[in-house]
Amino acid sequence: MTELMLKYFRSKQQEVQSEKVYESQCPFCSMQCKMQLIEQKVVSRTTHKTVGVDNPTTQGRLCVKGMNAHQHSFHRDRITQPLMKKDGEFVPISWDEALEYIRVNFTGIQETDGLDALSVYGSASLTNEEAYLLGKLARVGLKTKHIDYNGRLCMASAATGANQSFGVDRGFTNTLHEVPNTKCIILAGTNIAECQPTIMPYFEQAKENGAYIIAVDPRETATTEIADLHLKNKPGTDVALASALLKIIVQEDLIDEEFLQERVNGFDEVSRQLSTLDIDDCVAKTGIPKDQLYQAALTFGQEESGMIFTARGIEQQIDGTEAVRGFINILLATGKIGKPYSGYGAITGQGNGQGAREHGQKADQLPGYRSIENIEDRSYIAQVWGVEEKQLPHKGVSAYEMFEEVDEGNITGMLVVCSNPIISSPNANFVKQSLEKLKCLVTVDMFLSETAQLADLVLPASSYLEDQGTMTNVEGRVTLREANRPLPGKVKHDWQIVCDIAEVMGEGDKFSYQSAEEIFEELRVASRGGRADYFGITYDKIRQEKGVLWPCLDIDHKGTERLFEDEFAHEDGRAKMAVIGIYPEFTKEDISEEFPLFLTTGRVMSHYLTGEQTRKSPSLAARNIESYMEIHPETGEQFQLKDQMLVRITSRYGSIVVRSKWSEKIRKDTVFVPFHWGGEQNVNRLVSDELDPFCRMPGFKISPVNVKPALNREEVLIENQRNLESGRDAGRL
Ligand SMILES: Nc1nc2c(c(=O)[nH]1)N[C@H]1C(S)=C(S)[C@@H](COP(=O)(O)OP(=O)(O)OC[C@H]3O[C@@H](n4cnc5c(=O)[nH]c(N)nc54)[C@H](O)[C@@H]3O)O[C@H]1N2
Ligand SMILES: Nc1nc2c(c(=O)[nH]1)N[C@H]1C(S)=C(S)[C@@H](COP(=O)(O)OP(=O)(O)OC[C@H]3O[C@@H](n4cnc5c(=O)[nH]c(N)nc54)[C@H](O)[C@@H]3O)O[C@H]1N2
Ligand code: SF4
Ligand SMILES: [Mo]
């Protein structure tokens, strides 16, 4: 460093008037990277920088989203006081007015339309404490059976599949530290490189150590790039693919008979069904050549250890539960589970995707992964909550089905906390119409999202920098987000808002918490003895151990690194294999002359979910300013399209306009559109309302569509307006 530079830095340092450091965890994906926000006041300017902090899961790494997360929480559009819609405009009001509005309208609905006419729509971006409290609010504070959450659109198939096969669902059965030593890895419908970027070093290390990696995805992605073998299947055919792999494994005698005999039920039925399965049929269905199917099956079967990871590519299908169970069948048949370097991982999506599905905001569930229909579970939780068992409602319906109930007039009031269902739900046009029918819609958000814009009342929520609480990460590790930045304006924490609502609904005595830790203390007890048992976890223990893996049964218990070493979680201690691929109700709409292409949807690296947060972050928004449709150039030409042209995509459910993007990396029968944008670019306007019969997951990953140039006058005007707003060259059309 030159003398001049030194002088410059010294004088800069002197200019720094104050520096504050705030601890937190990234508000986005399930890696829950630990971070610090460094806030510097230099003369009149405040600057912010986010840096990674060491921890057992991500070891200090951050991806581009995490590094820029603070930009949205300081954005000028952040809501900092309650807003009430008056004559079509939002006007700021006091908390007292807001809560009085809720009291009057919610009790009014209860009186005229019945208790179940109120509903709660929650989120897996909430902390465990908040997810737990929202479940309690619905059942005890509002006395309604109608509560569900955005995780239904995310990991419902993975959860149901794992519960059915293993008897319990903790996303990953091992810790990530085992990944580098495994010998064969199947990545089925997961794009970890873009969706959980800080997980990648574990897989890169495995590859360096000689692991054989097989990826299953209709597109080439940054993830398939690390694979030795890429099975580029037709979308929606993963059940057939998993069955074919298992058939070859059985045929070639690569099963672990001892394991099957001692630890697994159902193999005989499965093997009988496989004997009728024709591999050539599977080749035709999946579009995967026979030699590739053999290569994958033989390698996985022969290696001494192996792991299978699934994510939304195979799960967000109307046969998603079956697809998950099909891949788990492979692990059970080869005895690659419950042992070192072998296991199953459903790569968790949202920051608290795991914890938020364990503690009671799912329609059929009570805390600790208990069932709302089981009398012992009900009695236990009723006692923890200080109510009679009979007072607890029974199960309600799933997230999307709540909108159907609204449409039918059975639900007339809704509280949406931390979700943006107009963009994230299937059949989005219908969802919007049904939200418009509500007598009273209250949303709790940091921004006026597309959903919040429809609300009668919007309540301002705190961000990841302000809101302390626990989050259960991709490994099932319960972490403590130590957030303590002061709340801006009149903002409150989600848990405080829940308590305020309970108070005005007359149940305040059961919601009198002073801190997130107090709620956690109750959650510990509520989860005790349940499948997701957190009883042995405390804030202090998480601080000492840097996270604790559940189940953790009591204070002296160290937590559980590897599941199923001795037994599975079903009552008889055995896992259950599943016969799959034989049910007519899973028949998906195929491509046809009218809708000749498969549309699949997903994510890009720089945006998160409905984009409400990441589109407000200039550093992230600049990377992808608008949506697009990835299409193979040969297919594009066949449909009279050009690269970078505005395209109208139409399905049986609606139509949208986005820009084409030529890519040789996608199958010729498939197009891909990310779902981070709303309005005209909302790809969920195209997605069907059909749901998986086991878990009620929508089929986000396959919709038959047609595509054509979007060249009518109205569309050109829309594009010109968008170009003007984004500063893009409007002459392009
Ligand atoms: N950057 C970013 N990261 C995120 C998120 C985000 O929005 N942005 N969201 C977080 C959340 S909540 C989630 S749930 C996860 C999602 O993480 P992923 O599930 O990994 O992400 P997706 O892009 O939805 O889908 C994964 C892959 O499935 C492929 N696919 C599509 N159809 C099929 C099919 O029929 N079969 C198979 N085998 N594959 C198919 C897609 O081409 C895609 O590459 O990511 C989390 N991380
Ligand atoms: N086509 C298609 N659709 C999909 C998917 C797909 O792959 N394809 N994936 C599905 C999946 S996996 C998911 S997880 C869902 C997600 O769907 P959503 O839950 O609707 O998506 P988010 O963008 O996370 O919405 C969160 C909202 O809460 C606000 N918010 C953020 N943090 C907080 C907080 O701490 N408190 C409060 N009160 N508000 C907060 C944000 O501003 C935002 O408006 O989308 C699903 N939809
Ligand atoms: S988005 Fe995920 S990988 Fe990236 S910093 Fe946040 S938690 Fe980590
Ligand atoms: Mo998700």
Transcribe 503-567 into DSSP letters. Answer: HHTT-GGG---SSHHHHHHHHHHHHTTSSS--TT--HHHHHHHTSEESP--STT----SSS-SS-
The CA angle 467-352-476, to the nearest 5 degrees, is 125
Cα–Cα distance for residue pair 607/65, rounded to 1 Å: 7
Strands across the sheet with 16-25, in order? 16-25, 34-42, 45-52
For residue 11, the model assigns a pLDDT of 65
Name the closest ligand to CA 58: 3
Cα–Cα distance for residue pair 229/491, rounded to 1 Å: 50
Amino acid at 472: T
Name the closest ligand to CA 25: 3
- 497 CA: nearest ligand 2 atom: 38
State in Å: Cα 382 to ligand 1 middle: 38
Listed in sequence order, the residues at least 6 apart from 491 whose beta carbon sits closer than 8 Å to its beta carbon are 79, 80, 81, 460, 461, 462, 466
Q: Tell me, using a 6 A CB cutoff, whether residue 142 lines ligand 3.
A: no
Cα–Cα distance for residue pair 279/292, rounded to 1 Å: 12
Work out the average pLDDT over 340-364. 97
Return mean pLDDT, the chain.
95
Listed in sequence order, the residues at least 6 apart from 492 whose beta carbon sits closer than 8 Å to its beta carbon are 95, 459, 460, 461, 462, 500
Cα–Cα distance for residue pair 405/114, rounded to 1 Å: 13
Q: Tell me, using a 6 A CB cutoff, whether residue 32 lines ligand 3.
A: yes
- 237 CA: nearest ligand 1 atom: 35
For residue 733, the model assigns a pLDDT of 33
Task: Give the range among 39-53, 404-418, 590-604 with minimum mean pLDDT.
Answer: 39-53
Cα–Cα distance for residue pair 475/560, rounded to 1 Å: 11
Cα–Cα distance for residue pair 222/695, rounded to 1 Å: 30
Q: Tell me, using a 6 A CB cutoff, whether residue 219 lines ligand 1.
A: yes
- Choice from 29, 33, 591 to test ligand 1 binding pocket (greatest atom count within 8 A of CB): 29
State in Å: Cα 422 to ligand 4 middle: 15
Q: Whose CA is nearest to atom 28 of ligand 2?
A: 418
Q: Whose CA is nearest to atom 13 of ligand 1?
A: 349
Q: Tell me, using a 6 A CB cutoff, whether residue 445 lines ligand 2.
A: yes
How far is C-alpha 158 from the chain's CA centre? 11
Q: Tell me, using a 6 A CB cutoff, whether residue 569 lines ligand 3.
A: no
Q: Whose CA is nearest to atom 29 of ligand 2?
A: 418
Q: Tell me, using a 6 A CB cutoff, whether residue 68 lines ligand 3.
A: no
State in Å: Cα 558 to ligand 1 middle: 33
For residue 582, the model assigns a pLDDT of 81
Q: Whose CA is nearest to atom 31 of ligand 1?
A: 313
Amino acid at 235: P
Name the closest ligand to CA 347: 1
pLDDT digits (tens, 9 = 90+) for 44-78: 889 999 999 999 999 999 999 999 999 999 999 99
Q: Whose CA is nearest to atom 37 of ligand 2?
A: 418
Q: Tell me, using a 6 A CB cutoff, whether residue 191 lines ligand 1.
A: yes
State in Å: Cα 354 to ligand 4 middle: 10
For residue 13, the model assigns a pLDDT of 63
Work out the average pLDDT over 93-104. 98
Q: Tell me, using a 6 A CB cutoff, whether residue 476 lines ligand 1.
A: no
pLDDT digits (tens, 9 = 90+) for 388-398: 999 999 999 99
Q: Whose CA is nearest to atom 4 of ligand 3?
A: 63
Q: Which two tokens stand for residue 450?
A: 């597309």
Question: 256: buried, middle or exposed (CB in 10 Å: 19+, 13-18, 0-12)?
Answer: middle
Q: Tell me, using a 6 A CB cutoff, whether residue 66 lines ligand 3.
A: yes
Q: Tell me, using a 6 A CB cutoff, whether residue 349 lines ligand 2.
A: yes
pLDDT digits (tens, 9 = 90+) for 109-168: 999 999 999 999 999 999 999 999 999 999 999 999 999 999 999 999 999 999 999 999
pLDDT at 366 over 80: yes
Write b or e for each residue in 92-110: b if 16 or more Cβ atoms lie within 10 A of its Cβ, otherwise e: ebebeebbebbeebbeebb
For residue 7, the model assigns a pLDDT of 74
Task: Find out whether 161 and 328 touch, Cβ atoms under 8 Å.
Answer: yes
Going along the chain from its start, the domains and CATH numbers come out as 83-149+355-549 (3.40.50.740), 156-347 (3.40.228.10), 588-731 (2.40.40.20)
Q: Tell me, using a 6 A CB cutoff, whether residue 33 lines ligand 3.
A: yes
Cα–Cα distance for residue pair 606/197, rounded to 1 Å: 11
State in Å: Cα 550 to ligand 3 middle: 22
Q: Whose CA is nearest to atom 3 of ligand 2?
A: 424
Q: Whose CA is nearest to atom 17 of ligand 1?
A: 195
For residue 731, the model assigns a pLDDT of 33
Q: In the chain, what percentage of residues exceed pLDDT 90?
A: 92
Task: Find out whether 517 and 493 touch, Cβ atoms under 8 Å.
Answer: no
pLDDT at 730 over 60: no
Work out the average pLDDT over 176-183. 98
pLDDT at 484 over 50: yes
- 684 CA: nearest ligand 2 atom: 1
Cα–Cα distance for residue pair 671/653, rounded to 1 Å: 17
Q: Whose CA is nearest to atom 13 of ligand 2?
A: 154
648: β partners: 657, 708
State in Å: Cα 28 to ligand 3 middle: 6
State in Å: Cα 677 to ligand 2 middle: 12
Q: Whose CA is nearest to atom 17 of ligand 2?
A: 424
State in Å: Cα 196 to ligand 3 middle: 6
Cα–Cα distance for residue pair 76/650, rounded to 1 Å: 36
For residue 727, the model assigns a pLDDT of 56
Q: Tell me, using a 6 A CB cutoff, whether residue 421 lines ligand 2.
A: yes
- 605 CA: nearest ligand 1 atom: 1
Q: Whose CA is nearest to atom 4 of ligand 1?
A: 195
Nearest to 617 by CA among 684, 676, 679, 685: 676
Q: Whose CA is nearest to atom 5 of ligand 3?
A: 66
Cα–Cα distance for residue pair 244/279, rounded to 1 Å: 6
Q: Where are the alpha helices (DSSP H) in 276-396?
A: 279-286, 290-302, 312-315, 320-333, 375-385
pLDDT band of residue 729 (cuts 50, 70, 90) is very low
Work out the average pLDDT over 3-24. 76
Task: Give the range among 38-42, 124-128, 218-222 with minimum mean pLDDT.
Answer: 38-42
Listed in sequence order, the residues at least 6 apart from 272 whose beta carbon sits closer than 8 Å to its beta carbon are none
Q: Tell me, using a 6 A CB cutoff, whether residue 65 lines ligand 3.
A: yes
Nearest to 468 by CA among 508, 507, 511, 514: 514
State in Å: Cα 419 to ligand 2 middle: 5
For residue 726, the model assigns a pLDDT of 64
pLDDT digits (tens, 9 = 90+) for 436-461: 999 999 999 999 999 999 999 999 99
Q: Whose CA is nearest to atom 8 of ligand 3?
A: 33
pLDDT at 10 over 70: no
Name the closest ligand to CA 445: 2
Q: Which single residue is written with the structure tokens 């569309």?
A: 715
State in Å: Cα 526 to ligand 2 middle: 27
State in Å: Cα 468 to ligand 3 middle: 18
Task: Find out whether 529 and 461 touch, Cβ atoms under 8 Å.
Answer: no
Q: Whose CA is nearest to atom 11 of ligand 1?
A: 349
pLDDT digits (tens, 9 = 90+) for 510-529: 999 999 999 999 999 999 99
Single pTM value for the model: 0.95
Q: Tell me, using a 6 A CB cutoff, whether residue 27 lines ligand 1.
A: no
The CA angle 35-55-351, to the nearest 5 degrees, is 60
First to last CA, the chain: 51
Q: Which two tokens stand for residue 432?
A: 């919007």
Strands across the sheet with 147-149, in order? 89-92, 83-86, 457-460, 440-445, 413-417, 118-122, 147-149
Q: Whose CA is nearest to atom 34 of ligand 1?
A: 235
Name the closest ligand to CA 65: 3
Q: Where are the alpha helices (DSSP H) in 209-278?
A: 238-251, 257-263, 267-275
- Choice from 25, 26, 352, 623 to test ligand 3 binding pocket (greatest atom count within 8 A of CB): 26
Name the closest ligand to CA 312: 1
State in Å: Cα 64 to ligand 3 middle: 8
Task: Give the range among 274-283, 348-357, 583-592 with minimum mean pLDDT.
Answer: 583-592
For residue 704, the model assigns a pLDDT of 97
Q: Tell me, using a 6 A CB cutoff, whether residue 28 lines ligand 3.
A: yes
How many CB atoms are closer than 10 A to CB 61? Answer: 18
